Structure 1
Amino acid sequence: MTPAARVQTAIEILDAIAAAAREGGSSADRILSEAMRQRRYAGSKDRRAIRALVYDAIRTVRSAPPSGRAAMLTLADEQPDLAALFDGSPYGPAPIEAGEARGESGLAAPTLVALFDPLIGDEEAGAMLARAPVDLRANCIKAQQADLAAHFPDGEAIAGVADGWRLPPESAAVQHPAYADGQFEVQDAASQYAAAALDAAPAMRIVDLCAGGGGKALALASLTGDRSEILACDINRARLQQLAPRAERAGVTSITTRLLNPGQEADMLADWRGHAARVFVDAPCSGSGTWRRSPELRWRLTPSRLDKHVADQARLMDIGAEMVAPGGKLLYAVCSVIAREGRAQVDDFLNRHPGWTVDDNVLPPGIGRSAGAGFLLTPAHDGCDGFFLARLAAPC
């Protein structure tokens, strides 16, 4: 493909991503993968170049643009060499016309920025959209951090986690044989901090209420030496079904899964009510803390979607609280930097549940900042995804 043809292909993919963002459709990664599958003539260099163009444009434009061309023109305004490729050549984009529409550049719309936790300052803007590193977590059932260091000598230790190892952005870690052998998982440091903050121990009964594909449950199994009893739950069958093969690869036997029906979660967990020593509620959220990995999420967030997330988070916290045994702990976490999903959510929970208290010192020294009754992790301060967490203790 010519450089101009790569630009035109990126424009077409951006059209699909912008439409999906407005309509709540597929993720940018899925759309990009499908687009490349349909263009089998594109070589590996073409694919890498197109992917870079697409994500550079998404990082540059703060909200869903009127078209993929408008998004690419915004990027071209900052990259003169790119603008020269709008030359009208075969398979390339048409020349740029005076006054053509552009997308709006920046981190996010002012109305969205106003919702951020007060701890988010100007220094976070660049870090929230920078390319993220590839963080690995050693599976302690099969490996240790030293093994990851030997496999990936270009990496470095992650501060505050004994099993973490950080690689440069775009590192193809999952292609290493050690991944197929179950020696490690790809997991951002923020999620590793959150799993450790649950303070789980062998022989405990643990509920992972929003397990998704099982990353947190596997981290808990690793931390407890596969000697705890972990119930991983979710309402998404496709995501939950990913856990069994991942657990087999990791050599984990302590996890069982339970598919829940939306709105019936409490009834379907009646047998665990009051019996869990630890409950992890990594609730669905805006994903505003993960923009450096999924920058198109800025294009998807609307007031109504945020309201739904906040309502779901409160409901899931209440369900999780029912599972906690007297004196047990609930860890609430969201990959968000929006105050309504973080500190405000915990304040509301404490008002609804008299007798519950908040634990201090749940993170390694120097990691995170106090954010009301919880803690906020951010890319600039902590080198990880934006994340809010709070560990809540049930009355005895």
Structure 2
Amino acid sequence: MTPAARLQAAIEILEQILDGSAVEQALTGWARRSRYAGSKDRAAVRDHVFSSVRQMNSHAALGGARTGRGLILGALRSGGVDPEPLFTGERHAPAALSEGEFERAVPDLSIVDLPEWLWGAFQSSLGADKAHDAELALRDRAPVFLRVNSTKASVSHAQEVLAEGGIETVPHPSASTALIVERGERAIRNSRPYLDGLVELQDGASQAIVERLNLQNGMRVLDYCAGGGGKTLAMAAAARLELVAHDAAEQRLRDLPERAKRAGAKVKIAKTHDLKSMGRFDLVLCDAPCSGSGSWRRAPEGKWRLTPDRFAELQDIQASILAAAAQLVKPGGVLSYATCSLLVPENSAQVDRFLDHHPGWSVHDTHQWFLDEGTDGFFLAQLQAPAA
């Protein structure tokens, strides 16, 4: 594909997204219909699409329209690229610029790439300066992190083996097991270290949360909202635990047995109706469903799909999860509540809400990770149950 043909493909995919299709669904559909597109073509088109979804407001303003064509025009102008030589209508290129499209919009620094109602939530949660910094950070691609499986390799050994496959990494201060990928990220999933369980894809803040849990050998630990099991596997590598993974959406855990086998980890998977018969746990981790605002660089459509009603619904879900999980904690045990959110209503306000309804519980640790630390935005609060 020519560079111009890649732009036209991105335009068509963005139109589907604007009509309501999920980003990954639209990209996958295009790839299946476009067998002629090579891996570099698919990667380039994907980058065009995700860049425009991250910066939908600002690209639409620079491109003159909130359409696939307008977003790509805005993206080119944002990057200082003249679109005219690419918009020719020849060989699958986008149609030539109309008279109105020749007019260059002046960048408006007041535009933020968030829905208007969300910008208010960001400012009230983070303060004006930090909210502005976070919004700018969310316009960029997230770095790719790896977690070194310390039961199989040291950080230095993992780096050496990765480098043999063309994957260059450097340690990241967010966690002792964290590597940030500088080159070769597209080769990771087919690399020997990944397939052999030496490394897992996992954000640095997500790794840091597990390191902050004070896991000790012999503890009974429940990952209550395990999702794909990233934190489950990180906990398995941190200490010798009696480890149980659960998720209300059971299909999210379908790959965990194979991943655990690859990592050399022992994990029991529990269905919701099994939990009460399993007794209580020393530690229950709840990485609760949330807005995802701290990880919108990776999943940018989330910020455009979120509505005030859904945001309120998520807070009620978080409260119900905490209430249910608290019943599974031993007297004196710990309930660890985490979100990948930057927003106070999902974080400290949710903790206050829990404490108001659960006398005797106390907070013994809280931490917030921000985007300017190089990781996703995460929040952690560790709540201690009253003694028997």
Contact 2:220 2:243 in 1 (8 A): yes
Aligned partner of 1:378 among 364, 367, 370: 370
CA deviations over 1:215-263 (Å, ceiling 9, x no partner):
1111110001xx211111112232111101101111112x111233xxx
Quote how far apart the aligned CAs of 1:88 are: 2.3
Which amino acid letter does the alignment assign opposite residue 72 of structure 1?
I
Which amino acid letter does the alignment assign opposite residue 137 of structure 1?
R
Aligned partner of 1:157 among 168, 171, 190: 171
Contact 2:13 2:68 in 1 (8 A): yes
Inter-partner Cα distance in structure 2 for 1:36 and 1:19: 18
Q: Which has the higher helix share?
A: 2
What are the equivalent positions in structure 2 for 1:287-298 lying under 5 Å apart?
A: 287-298=292-303
User: Which shows bigger deviation, 7-16 or 81-90?
Assistant: 81-90
Q: Which residue of 2 aligns with 1:122?
A: 132
Quote how far apart the aligned CAs of 1:324 are: 0.6
Higher relative contact order (CA 8 A, sep 6+): 1
User: Which shows bigger deviation, 149-158 or 296-305?
Assistant: 149-158
Inter-partner Cα distance in structure 1 for 2:340 and 2:252: 18
Unaligned stretches of 5+ in structure 1? Answer: 261-266, 361-373
Inter-partner Cα distance in structure 2 for 1:305 and 1:113: 16
Inter-partner Cα distance in structure 2 for 1:157 and 1:37: 37
Q: 1:222 and 1:340, CA in 2 relative to 1: closer, same or farther beyond 3 A?
A: same
Inter-partner Cα distance in structure 2 for 1:377 and 1:160: 9
Aligned partner of 1:389 among 367, 380, 384: 380
Unaligned stretches of 5+ in structure 2? Answer: none
User: Which shows bigger deviation, 46-55 or 328-337?
Assistant: 46-55
Which amino acid letter does the alignment assign opposite residue 194 of structure 2?
Y
Q: Which residue of 1 aligns with 2:29?
A: 34
- 2:310 pairs with 1:305: yes
TM-score, normalisation: structure 2: 0.87
Aligned partner of 1:351 among 347, 350, 356: 356
TM-score, normalisation: structure 1: 0.86
Inter-partner Cα distance in structure 2 for 1:281 and 1:57: 33
Inter-partner Cα distance in structure 2 for 1:193 and 1:287: 17
- 2:288 pairs with 1:280: no
Which amino acid letter does the alignment assign opposite residue 71 of structure 1?
L
Query: SS where residue 286 of structure 1 aligns?
Result: coil
Q: Which residue of 2 aligns with 1:18?
A: 18
Inter-partner Cα distance in structure 2 for 1:143 and 1:242: 22
CA deviations over 1:143-199 (Å, ceiling 9, x no partner):
121222212453211214222211127713222201111111110011101112222
Contact 2:169 2:183 in 1 (8 A): no
- 2:231 pairs with 1:216: yes
- 2:274 pairs with 1:259: no
Q: Which residue of 2 aligns with 1:248?
A: 261
Which amino acid letter does the alignment assign opposite residue 285 of structure 1?
C
Contact 1:18 1:299 in 2 (8 A): no
Inter-partner Cα distance in structure 2 for 1:216 and 1:198: 11
Aligned partner of 1:107 among 98, 103, 113: 113
Contact 1:134 1:169 in 2 (8 A): no
Inter-partner Cα distance in structure 2 for 1:140 and 1:88: 54
Inter-partner Cα distance in structure 2 for 1:83 and 1:333: 48
Q: 1:316 and 1:9, CA in 2 relative to 1: closer, same or farther beyond 3 A?
A: same
Q: Which residue of 2 aligns with 1:364?
A: none
Query: SS where residue 123 of structure 1 aligns?
Result: helix
Contact 2:286 2:322 in 1 (8 A): yes
Quote how far apart the aligned CAs of 1:17 are: 2.3
Post-superposition, which runs of at least 4 consecutive aligned residues in structure 1 deviate over 4 A?
63-66, 98-102
Q: Which residue of 2 aligns with 1:51?
A: 46
Query: SS where residue 390 of structure 1 aligns?
Result: strand
Q: Which residue of 2 aligns with 1:204?
A: 219
